[in-house]
Amino acid sequence: MTTPSPTTPADDVLRAHAEYEYAAELAALAAADDRPRPPRWQLSPWAVTTYLLGGTLTDGTVITPKYIGSRRLMEIAVASLATDRALLLLGVPGTAKSWVSEHLAAAISGDSTLVVQGTAGTTEEAIRYGWNYASLLAAGPSTDALVPGPVMRAMRTGSLARIEELTRIPADVQDSLITVLSEKTLPIPELDSEVQARRGFNVIATANDRDKGVNDLSSALRRRFTTVVLPLPDSLDDEVSIVTQRVSSLGASLELPADLQSLSEIRRVVTVMRELRGGVTVDGRTTLKSPSSTLSTAEAISVVTSGLSLAAHFGDGVVGAHDVAAGLLGAVVKDPVQDAVIWDEYLETVVRGRPDWDDLYRACRDLGTGAHR
Ligand SMILES: Nc1ncnc2c1ncn2[C@@H]1O[C@H](COP(=O)(O)OP(=O)(O)OP(=O)(O)O)[C@@H](O)[C@H]1O
Ligand SMILES: [Mg+2]
């Protein structure tokens, strides 16, 4: 039970866990890494940060950037995990919280699969342990009848446990984490025993800004986390490179035979998202109303990916205005009344006025918005 052993995936899984997808990079980093590693870490904090932000190793291996953004934020996150403080990644939807959490667990513990998905229905058993009821009824509580949850498994193996959407979990269930984080112990009263965390154990939680207030974290719990707020990308260029990189790798794994050379299309999609999200055009001249929908980088990624699929299967293989228009409409107009009016205004006042955006204007107009019908 000392080394985590996630099962080897079949060749055709739709989405491999990060530790498999990037196994070659992780192995090259481990080989090149001569810095001290905290107990049970597969890599040193320096190598983990390089894995996240990308770089070129002395042997020439290129490490692709996973997170595009501030190096300091990632250093703070990694440094916190090397202490006894847990890490809370906070931010608006689509700011790569889950993505970073998965990559951190993959790089540090070699296993990103010890995950609790937080919902309003998450119970204490999901965090701690449950029972195999057949064994429990037949033989009473015993170690064999105990079904450890992800946190307990991480404690036993000295790995990272991930808790997604922490703030959606009911407050009393969240509180069961306090003992785990402060005492590093999980009591099992039924067996009159406990599990003590081995060195290397820690927790990465993610939480969405917008859920705040639903079940605000108790201060007792919050104190045990280092909070790192992941921001929306600073600049248009940063966001364009995030979308380009993610779409290329998604397109490759879906084997979409389409051409992504059309960077200009990505730039336009990202521009639309940023302008509507920020309520102002990129030149700062026109203020806009923002729709109710979350227009994060994640939405831009899915608009371009669906455009890629449309172009591959029903178009000429090159992503154009025509292929992204429907995705844009779907991403922006979530509320058929208010958002449709906002979209319509945006098309008329901004898109229409840009000479080189004529094709996008027409493609969007051809779809209608619902406001005119
Ligand atoms: N700064 C960034 N660097 C790299 N990828 C990013 C960045 N921002 C967003 N992404 C991409 O956006 C997608 C969505 O990210 P993710 O699902 O992790 O968001 P999230 O913050 O967990 O959102 P939610 O609050 O909805 O759970 C991922 O594919 C990720 O690669
Ligand atoms: Mg998430």
Q: What is the pLDDT of residues 308-321, one digit of tens each?
A: 889 888 988 888 89
pLDDT at position 211, please?
65
Q: Residue 246 has which token pair?
A: 């993610």
Mean pLDDT to the nearest integer, 22-48: 97
Q: State how far the Cα of 177 lies from the Cα of 186, in Å rounded to an integer.
A: 9
CA 294 to ligand 2 center in whole angstroms: 13
Q: Select from 199, 109, 92 the least CA-distant residue to 162.
A: 109
The token pair that represents 123 in the structure block: 């119970």
| Beta-strand relationship, 193-196 and 185-188 | antiparallel
CA of 296 to the centre of ligand 1 (A): 8
Distance 168 CA to ligand 2 centre (A): 12
Mean pLDDT, residues 114-142 taken together = 93
Q: What is the mean pLDDT of residues 45-67?
A: 95
Query: Is pLDDT above 70 for 8?
Result: no
The helix/strand/coil state of 131 is strand
Q: Is the pLDDT of residue 59 over 50?
A: yes
Pocket lining: 97 vs ligand 1, CB cutoff 6 Å: yes
pLDDT band at 4 (very low <50, low <70, confident <90, very high): very low
Q: From the CB of 69, is ligand 1 less than 6 Å away?
A: yes
| 160 pLDDT higher than 50 | yes
Q: How confident is the model at residue 166 (pLDDT cuts 50, 70, 90)?
A: very high
Residue 342 to residue 82: CA distance in whole angstroms? 47
Q: What is the mean pLDDT of residues 284-297?
A: 90
Q: Is 310 in the pocket of ligand 1 (CB under 6 A)?
A: no
Q: Measured between alpha carbons, how far is 342 from 66 in angstroms, rounded to an integer?
A: 34
Q: Which amino acid, one-letter code, is at 330?
A: G
Mean pLDDT of the chain: 90
Q: Cβ(270) to ligand 1 under 6 A?
A: no
Q: If you measure from the C-alpha of residue 209 to the centroid of ligand 2, how many angstroms do you get, rounded to a whole number?
A: 11
Give the pLDDT score at 259.
65
**Residue 5 binned pLDDT confidence (cut-offs 50, 70, 90):** very low
Q: Residue 217's pLDDT is what?
A: 82
The pair of structure tokens assigned to 258 is 């389409």
117 Cα: distance to centroid of ligand 2 (angstroms): 10
Is 186 strand, coil or helix?
strand
Crossing angle of helices 97-109 and 45-53, in 10° steps, is: 140
Closest C-alpha among 157, 158, 148, 162 to residue 193: 148
**Interval between CA 316 and ligand 2 midpoint (Å):** 34
Q: What is the pLDDT of residue 212?
A: 61
Ligand 1 atom at minimum distance from 165 CA: 27
* Protein residues within 5 Å, CB atom, of ion ligand 2: 98
Q: Tell me which ligand sits closest to the C-alpha of residue 211.
A: 1
Tokens of 94: 């689509």
Interval 97-111 mean pLDDT: 98
- The best mutation among 22, 90, 95 to test binding of ligand 1, ranked by most ligand atoms within 8 Å of the C-beta, falls on 95
pLDDT of residue 322 exceeding 60, the answer is: yes
Looking at the chain, the whole-number percentage of residues with pLDDT higher than 90 is 72
Tens digits of residue pLDDT in 221-276: 888 999 999 999 989 999 999 999 888 878 777 777 666 666 788 999 999 999 99
**What atom of ligand 1 comes closest to residue 250's alpha carbon?**
29
Which of 32-36, 76-80, 207-211, 357-361 has the lowest average pLDDT? 207-211
**Could you tell me the CA-to-CA distances from 287 to 280, 281, 346 in Å, in that order?**
4, 7, 10
| Strand runs labelled E in 66-174 | 86-91, 115-117, 129-131, 146-148, 160-164
Q: Which ligand sits nearest to residue 301's alpha carbon?
A: 1
Query: Measured in angstroms, how far is the CA atom of residue 186 from the centroid of ligand 1?
Result: 32
In this predicted structure, which of 159-168, 248-257, 284-293, 347-356 has the lowest mean pLDDT? 248-257
pLDDT at residue 199 above 70? yes
Flag whether pLDDT at 369 surpasses 90: no
pLDDT of amino acid 255? 75
Q: How far, in Å, from the CA of 210 to the mean position of ligand 2? A: 12
Q: Give the residue with greater pLDDT, 44 vs 208.
A: 44
* Residue 300 predicted with pLDDT over 50: yes
The pLDDT of residue 194 is 95
* Average pLDDT for 1-14: 58
Share of the chain above pLDDT 70, in %: 93
Pocket test for ligand 1, best of 297, 301, 303, 305 (most atoms within 8 A of CB): 297
Question: What pLDDT is recorded for position 2?
Answer: 43
Please report which ligand is nearest the Cα atom of 249.
1
Decide: 233 in ligand 1 pocket, CB within 6 A: yes
- Note the ligand closest to the C-alpha atom of 239: 1
Predicted pLDDT at 293: 83
Per the DSSP assignment, residues forming a β-bridge with 185 are 196
